[in-house]
């Protein structure tokens, strides 16, 4: 069993947040890892719903804020919908994932968590006027 570290960083490499999940298989696809990450962060939010969501992708009907998203009102979030949004965002370069020192480019790419237990997520932000 493997323990993976999920870490968010800015495009310049500045760490934003980090947490670990233990008891995982030693090999998982990027799709499975993204879905796992999203399910974990939504579970944390749903345990104490608020009007702010700190996650990989923006929930439906939320506004983007610095390091998170503002919901119109405190509510529970559907993790499967969030996972769908995250998969689409990955495919359209909304964020990218580094496993060890390599960028992963395909949702079905298998990551060896025994060799590369650190996953770095870097969100890309559109430039204003660009």
CA pair distance 112, 62, nearest whole angstrom: 34
In this prediction, residues 85-95 reach a mean pLDDT of: 95
Mean pLDDT across 59-82:
92
Gap between the Cα atoms of 55 and 1, Å rounded: 26
pLDDT digit string (tens) for 97-125? 999 889 999 999 999 999 989 999 998 86
pLDDT interval class at 130 (50, 70, 90): very low
Q: Tokens 């947040």 correspond to what residue?
A: 17
Q: How far apart are CA 102 and CA 15, in angstroms?
A: 17
Orientation of helix 79-91 relative to helix 30-47, angle to 10°: 140
Tell me what pLDDT residue 103 has. 95
- Would you kindly state where each structural domain of the chain is located, as residue ranges? 2-50+79-123
- Give per-residue pLDDT as tens, 32-65: 999 999 999 999 999 999 999 999 999 999 998 8
11 pLDDT more than 90: no
DSSP three-state, residue 94: coil
CATH of 2-50+79-123, one of 1.10.287, 3.10.20, 3.20.20, 2.60.40: 3.10.20
Using the predicted structure, report yes or no on whether residue 128 has a pLDDT greater than 70.
no
pLDDT for residue 25: 97
Rounded Cα gap, residues 99 and 110, in angstroms: 10
């Amino acid at each position: 069993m493997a323990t993976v570290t999920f870490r968010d960083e800015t495009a310049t490499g500045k760490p934003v947040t980090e947490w670990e999940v233990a008891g995982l298989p030693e090999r998982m696809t990027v799709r499975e890892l993204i879905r796992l990450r999203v399910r974990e962060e939504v579970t944390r939010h749903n345990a104490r719903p608020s009007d702010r969501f700190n996650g990989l992708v923006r929930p439906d009907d939320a506004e983007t804020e610095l390091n998170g998203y503002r919901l119109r009102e405190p509510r529970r979030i559907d993790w499967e919908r969030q996972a769908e949004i995250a998969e689409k965002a990955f495919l359209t370069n909304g964020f990218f994932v580094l496993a060890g020192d390599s960028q992963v480019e395909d949702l079905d790419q298998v990551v060896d968590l025994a060799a590369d237990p650190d996953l770095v997520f870097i969100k890309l932000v559109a430039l204003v006027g660009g």
